[in-house]
Amino acid sequence: MCSYKQLLEKVQTLFASENFMGNPAQLYEPIKYTLSLGGKRIRPVLLLAATDLFGGDIEAACPAAIGIETFHNFTLLHDDLMDKSPIRRGQPTVYRKWNENIAILSGDAMNILAWRYFLKQPHKNLHQILSTFEKTSMEICEGQQYDMNFETRDDVTKNEYMEMIRLKTAVLLAGALKIGALYADAPDDDIEQIYNFGIFIGLAFQLRDDLLDAYGDVSTFGKQTGTDIKDNKKTFLLLHAIEKCDKNQQEELRRLFSYTPADPSHKIERVLEIYDSLDIRTDVENEIGKLHSQASTCLDAIHRSNNDKQPLRELAESLLERNV
C-alpha cells in the first residue's frame, strides 16, 4: 500500500511531466498557468488512494487522476470569473491575468481535456467510470446554480445549504473515490461506503472552507478572506447565526447581507463581531467534527484492513485540520 505522502508525490510527478501547451498559445497558456499553481491535489490523490485500497493498478488510473484534477481546476476557473475573485492560490485569477473571454474559453478547453484523459486508458468498467464522471459533472453545475440562486434569496435554510455544498463540492471528492474503486473492480457495497465517505469528508471540507474564508489568513489561505461576506453568500456560518441570534441581530445581519459596499471592510468586521458574540466558530467546528465521525463510520465499514485504510484516514485528517 502507498502512503498518503507517496500518493501525493505520484500526483505531483504526473502533473510535472504533462505538457499542457499547444496552439493557439492564448488558449493553452491559461491552462498551463492554472494547473501549475499547484493546490492540494486532493481529488487525484483520493482517486489513486481508492484504487490502491482495493488492490488495483495505480498506473492504469493515472490518466483519470489527471483528468479529474483538470476538471476541478476548470470549475475553479469559471467560479472565479462568476464570483469576480481576484486571487487563487496566492496568484491572480485567470480572468484578471488575461481577460474574461479567455477565462471562459480556456475553461471550456480544460473540461474537454478532462474527458480526453478519462478516455486514454481502456478498462472493463470504463462505462461506469464515465457515467460516474458525467453524473458528478452535472451535479457540480447544479450546485453552482443553487449557490448563485441563494445570493438573491433571504429564506435559505441550513438543509438547503448542505444540499448545495453536497452538489458543488462533496460529490467531486466522492466521485473521485468511486472512480478509483471502479478501476480496482471493488465490490458494490464497498464502492457505496467509500462514496459516502467522500460525501461526508466533502461536506466537512466545505464547512472548513467557509470558516477559513471568514477567519483565515490570506497569506496562508491563498485567496482573499471575507469574500463570502462581501458577496452576500449564504454560508453555513450566516444561516446558523440567523437561527441562533436575537431579533435585533437577525435584522442587522439581514441588512448587512443586502448590499455590497465599495469598501467592504466595515461590513466584514461587523459581521465577524456578531459571529464571535454567538460563538459561531465553535459551533461550526463541532459540526465539522460530526461529519468527520460519519465519514469514519463509512470507512470502518469497508472490507479492507485498518492498515490499508490509513492513507485515507490521513488525508481526511489533513483536510479537516488545514489552514489553507
Domain containing 305: what range?
Answer: 4-320
DSSP 222-275: SS-TTHHHHTT---HHHHHHHHHS-HHHHHHHHHHTT---SS-HHHHHHHHHHH
Segment 112-128 mean pLDDT = 97
| CATH code for the domain in which residue 22 is found | 1.10.600.10
* Grid cell locating 221: 489561505
Segment 244-261 mean pLDDT = 94
What is the model's pLDDT at position 154? 86
Confidence of residue 218 (pLDDT cuts 50, 70, 90): low
Our CA angle for 290, 296, 299, nearest 5°, is 150
* Grid cell locating 278: 454567538
User: Which ranges of the chain would DSSP assign to H, the alpha helix?
Assistant: 4-17, 25-36, 42-53, 58-83, 94-97, 100-118, 126-150, 158-165, 171-183, 188-215, 218-221, 227-230, 236-244, 247-256, 265-278, 280-300, 306-320
* Grid cell locating 103: 477565462
Average pLDDT of every residue of the chain: 94
**Minimal CA–CA distance to 50: which of 115, 118, 18, 4?**
4
- Is residue 222's pLDDT more than 60? no
User: One-letter amino acid identity for 252?
Assistant: E
* Grid cell locating 187: 465490490
Provide the 10 A C-beta neighbour count for residue 304. Answer: 16
Phi, psi for residue 97 in degrees, rounded to 5: -75, -35
What is the spatial distance between Cα 120 and Cα 14, in angstroms, rounded to a whole number? 15
Confidence of residue 162 (pLDDT cuts 50, 70, 90): very high
pLDDT tens figures, 59-69: 999 999 999 99
Upper half-sphere CA count for residue 300 (Cβ side, 13 Å):
6
- Is residue 220's pLDDT more than 80? no
What is the model's pLDDT at position 221? 53
What is the spatial distance between Cα 172 and Cα 70, in angstroms, rounded to a whole number? 12
What is the spatial distance between Cα 191 and Cα 98, in angstroms, rounded to a whole number? 41
What's the domain count of the chain? 1
What is the spatial distance between Cα 92 and Cα 89, in angstroms, rounded to a whole number? 8
pTM over 0.85: yes
What is the spatial distance between Cα 178 and Cα 164, in angstroms, rounded to a whole number? 20
Segment 40-64 mean pLDDT = 97
Confidence of residue 223 (pLDDT cuts 50, 70, 90): low
pLDDT tens figures, 301-312: 999 999 999 999
